[in-house]
Structure 1
Amino acid sequence: MSSEIKRIEEIIAPTLTDLGYAIVRLQMQGDRHQTLQIMAERLDRKIMDVDDCAKISRAISPLLDVDDPIEDPYSLEVSSPGVDRPLVRAEDFERFAGFEAKVEMSYLIDGRKRFTGRLVGLVDGNVQILVDGVAQDLPFEDVVKAKLVLTDDLLAAASKEQGL
């Protein structure tokens, strides 16, 4: 995580928490005109809607304007992680244990960088995933990208969590 992204998180995280949200992921995207993407979720784990995104945007825009942590012009984009969400924090791998996930590593492990399988969780600092029934330990600090795979099980769990 860049120092710019860390600073942005320090600025906005307390306000988001006070409003009942948590940061899932912060990213700067684009070259000429950058976009600050803030992916957030509700602390009560209900589905986020457009009103939630607007509420977050209205609350954090003034904070970013005052502190001005981004030198170049940028656009602000607030979104929900969705059902097939990215897995970013260590607790994400625990929370979604039992579901299918795709994990990309920064280097080859057993001749490959990408793994798809059922998450076991975090074991001794490693993301453990069952790939074709075999447990694979992937060092958490070397995960480049990870996300849930949209499956019937995941959809059923999301529906149950929402009381649908």
Structure 2
Amino acid sequence: MHALIDETVGGLGYEVVDVEFAANGLLRIYIDFPWQGVSESTPRLIRIEDCELVSRQLTRVFEVEGIDYARLEISSPGMDRPLKKITDYQRFAGLEVALKLRVAFNGRKQYSGILHVDGEASAPVLSLHYLAHPDVKGSDVLVLGFTLDEVDKARLVPNYKF
């Protein structure tokens, strides 16, 4: 089913960020525009019309394929967008990220800091620069190196500017 969703959404010019199967037959799909690389000056934002287009197309495809669901919900990934693929990490390098590791490192699994991606695009090196003591002004900045396989969950930390 994931491959069918990816193919359909991709054919419309979007990418699937995440798919959730929720209670009572709810199928929730998060979409975004594909990243155009570091040359992308202004990111395009998902609008309600984009969600409507994807919803109509997937409804038709699911009907033809006989896929059973009670409700279909299409959404943008939001300001706290999850990071799933290596291209997500490359796209959002330099931004604040909340990271949960699968296995604790130095007695903790949860970290929050600035995401860094170094090395070649074909072999990126991921790291998170975080404060040793976030509540203490002038705290040392530490660096946590990690691989995608070590990550349980990662999300952007929203930066609200009013």
Contact 2:117-2:124 at 8 Å conserved across structures:
no
Contact 2:100-2:151 at 8 Å conserved across structures:
yes
Report the alpha carbon displacement of residue 65 of structure 1 after superposing the two structures with TM. 2.3
- The equivalences for 1:26-37 within 5 A come to 26-30=19-23, 33-37=24-28
Counterpart residue identity of residue 19, structure 2: L
- The equivalences for 1:3-152 within 5 A come to 8-30=1-23, 33-43=24-34, 45-70=43-68, 73-121=69-117, 127-132=126-131, 133-151=141-159
Report the alpha carbon displacement of residue 27 of structure 1 after superposing the two structures with TM. 1.4
Q: Using structure 2 for the length normalisation, give the TM-score.
A: 0.77
Q: How many residues are paired up?
A: 143
- Distance, in Å, in 1 between the alignment partners of 2:81 and 2:73 is 16
Runs (4+) off by over 4 Å? 122-126
Report the alpha carbon displacement of residue 68 of structure 1 after superposing the two structures with TM. 3.4
Coordinate RMSD, CA, aligned: 2.3
Counterpart residue identity of residue 142, structure 1: E
Q: Deviations over 1:79-129 (max 9, x none)?
A: 001233111111111111111000112221111111100001266676310
Report the alpha carbon displacement of residue 36 of structure 1 after superposing the two structures with TM. 1.2
- Distance, in Å, in 2 between the alignment partners of 1:126 and 1:115 is 17
Contact 1:125-1:139 at 8 Å conserved across structures:
no
Deviates more, 1:140-149 or 1:12-21: 12-21
**Cα distance, 1:98–1:125 mapped onto 2, change above 3 Å:** closer
5+ unaligned residues in a row in structure 1: which ranges? 1-7, 157-164
Identity level (%): 27
Structure richer in helix, relative to its length: 1
- Distance, in Å, in 2 between the alignment partners of 1:141 and 1:74 is 33
5+ unaligned residues in a row in structure 2: which ranges? 37-42, 132-140
- Distance, in Å, in 1 between the alignment partners of 2:142 and 2:22 is 36
**Cα distance, 1:129–1:114 mapped onto 2, change above 3 Å:** same
In our comparison, the structure showing a higher alpha carbon Rg is: 2
